[in-house]
Structure 1
Amino acid sequence: MSLFSRIVTLVAVAALAGCQTVPPGDAEAAVCPAVEVPDCPVCQIEECPAPRVLEKIVLRPAPPPPPPPPPATAGELDLPIIGVVEFVTVDPPGVRLEAVIDTAAEGSTLAVRNLRLLEKDGQRYVNYTLADPVTGGEHEIEALVRRRASTQHADGSTSRNHVVQMWLSLGESRTRVEVGLSERTDMPYPLVVGRNLLTDVAIVDVSRRHTLDNQPPP
């Protein structure tokens, strides 16, 4: 190819590229035509909507299970367990009294008033008054004296009481026992139940009180 043909080819290539070719040694560099850059629209960023709460779940720790109820009976005879204080029905006259259960006392003691000793047909009787704590009334009772017995009290003192027989109902048990009559006014409970009623009838749990309250009185 001749020199002229080569020059023509280079000029054609430069024209196609859109550039101007300057001869060597010219101070101006090759200038490319400005290219218009189209504007790109800004894309809108869409945020995801907040999730809908269909059901709110709250986790709470489960309460501990309740302790098992204390046993109602115990022992080889499957006797009822009673507390240190129970209600006992005294008959006569059928009065329901709050009683302290004293396993250290051999006999039972009842607080009375206006105690008088009588004699009929050569036998000794007592006449006494028993107060009803529910109605506030008083019952006058006469009973045959079985004997006299010494009673030791919690404060260490002793007294000789007239002993009579009466029915005492403790829970579902109704027993005729000997009861000493006392005119002491410092007894915390009107009735003290001793071992003469408790033997083979009940087992005493001193940590409990009124275990028989849910049972109807006899």
Structure 2
Amino acid sequence: MKAGLVISALVWLMLSGCAQVQPQGPTSQQAESPAVSGESPPVESVSPPDQVCPLPPPCTLAEPVECPPPKVIEKVVYKTPPPAKTGGELNLPIIGEVEDVMVEPPGMILEARIDTGAESSSMHAENIHMVERDGISYVRFTVLDPKTNKQVEMERKRQRTVRIKRQTGDFERRYVIKLWLSMGNIKEMVEVTLTDRSDFEFPLLIGRNLLTDTAIVDVSRKHTLK
């Protein structure tokens, strides 16, 4: 009985205490000031009004300005000296790597390659054969005249027969004759071998047997002799 009264009294005290305790809300000062924790109160973002940029002024075209012509203070003209016609201690004529050569007989002009590496001179000929007359050997052959485009038959005394080693390695027998060869003021009677030069660009080759102590060759020039 006493225990029941004690429990009832405790329950009544607890209920009366809860009724007296009221929830504490934020005071007016706390509502106006920020929290002690240092956090800033939320701020409402306000978007600025849309701004319209003004249009740029129209571009004006600049008028072209003509520059005055440059003033020539002094005009310098460099003149290239003409190529030398003679040279060396012997004052020999200077010829090019290609020259026109007069062949006598028969008096025709052939374009010739000037080659200081060749020991002798050679000329293109066709129908080459040897004939004998009064115990003397002659060589009969034909040469194409570039001016008339006709074959000219020639006959010259045979000086000797030589064996020439060709690029293929085999040997070729060639007849040697003498002809007058003229280039400008140069005129010499030299030995010339007869051969088939149809595979070469020039029908006549001038070697050292004509060039030695006669002319200086400038391979950068052509047709220097008139």
Spell out structure 1 runs of 4+ moving beyond 4 A.
152-158
Secondary structure at the counterpart of residue 131 of structure 1: strand
Q: TM-score, normalization: structure 1?
A: 0.66
What pairs up with 1:76-155 in 2 under 5 angstroms?
76-151=89-164
- Which AA in structure 2 matches 1:117? M
Match of 2:85 in 1: 72
The answer (yes or no) to whether the contact 2:113–2:205 under 8 Å persists in 1 is yes
The answer (yes or no) to whether the contact 1:163–1:179 under 8 Å persists in 2 is yes
Computing the radius of gyration from Cα coordinates, the structure with the larger value is 2
Q: 2 CA distance for matches of 1:135 and 1:103? A: 30
Q: Percent identity?
A: 46
User: Structure 1 154/207 Cα, relative in aligned 2: closer, same or farther at 3 Å?
Assistant: farther
User: Structure 1 67/115 Cα, relative in aligned 2: closer, same or farther at 3 Å?
Assistant: same
What pairs up with 1:197-216 in 2 under 5 angstroms?
197-212=210-225, 215=226
User: Structure 1 118/69 Cα, relative in aligned 2: closer, same or farther at 3 Å?
Assistant: same
Match of 1:39 in 2: none
Aligned residues: 158
The answer (yes or no) to whether the contact 1:82–1:210 under 8 Å persists in 2 is yes
Deviations 1:93-128 (A, max 9, x none): 000000000101111000011112111122211111
Q: TM-score, normalization: structure 2?
A: 0.64
The structure carrying a bigger helix percent of its residues is 2
User: Structure 1 166/193 Cα, relative in aligned 2: closer, same or farther at 3 Å?
Assistant: same
Deviations 1:67-98 (A, max 9, x none): 11111110111001000000000001000000
- Which AA in structure 1 matches 2:181? L
Q: 1 CA distance for matches of 2:132 and 2:168? A: 33
